[in-house]
Amino acid sequence: MLQAQKQEKDIELWQQVVNNEVAYIQTRQSFFAHCKNRVEALKQALHSPVERGTALRVLDYLPVEERQSLLDDLVDLASVAHADIALCRQVILSLPKIWLLSNIEKSAEPLLQAGAEEEYRRLLELYVELDKDLAERLARRASQHREPDVQEVGKIFSVASDSRVWLQQCRLC
């Protein structure tokens, strides 16, 4: 009897998941069909910790040009640690690689100018996944920084030329 009640509760919980998923899909479709300025709405949501994860998942449904228009915001988010950083990187890396390589340094520059160890570390983690040469340039820049903590980030990367080693070392930092 007790086992049957547990199984019934499990089925009820699963049905709630399914119902909420269907409601989410319908609401997302309505958002795309009727929202007049969805890029601006998503841009604002990216800067709200409560809304950020949903916004990042919804970005997958935007045309590439609209996602590209949010690069500055996405790079800003990728430059600091937070619960959605992996999802943020995933969205950035989903952009066309040639376009991304041509534009990411411009988006990152203001962050690096004012940046410290955190920004350099997080951006190097992203760059390692994007392009080895790009990551090496940033590591050299970090190694020449006036702040010892930033220099250390660049030195760690320089020693770990294999990107998998770098990512493993970063997780330990």
Reading the block at residue 160, the tokens are 């770990």
Instruction: Give the pLDDT of residue 172.
Output: 43
How much is the CA Rg of the chain, to the nearest whole Å?
A: 20
Q: Which residue has the tokens 């080693």?
A: 165
Q: Please report, for the chain, the start and end positions of each structural domain, with discontinuous segments joined by +.
A: 115-173
CA-CA distance, 60 to 14, in Å (whole number)?
25
| Interval 83-106: pLDDT, tens | 999 999 999 999 999 999 999 999
Q: Are 81 and 122 in contact (CB under 8 A)?
A: yes
- State pTM to two decimals: 0.86
Among 129, 124, 128, smallest CA distance to 145 is for: 124
Residue 5: per-residue pLDDT: 81
Q: What are the tokens at 74?
A: 């996405």
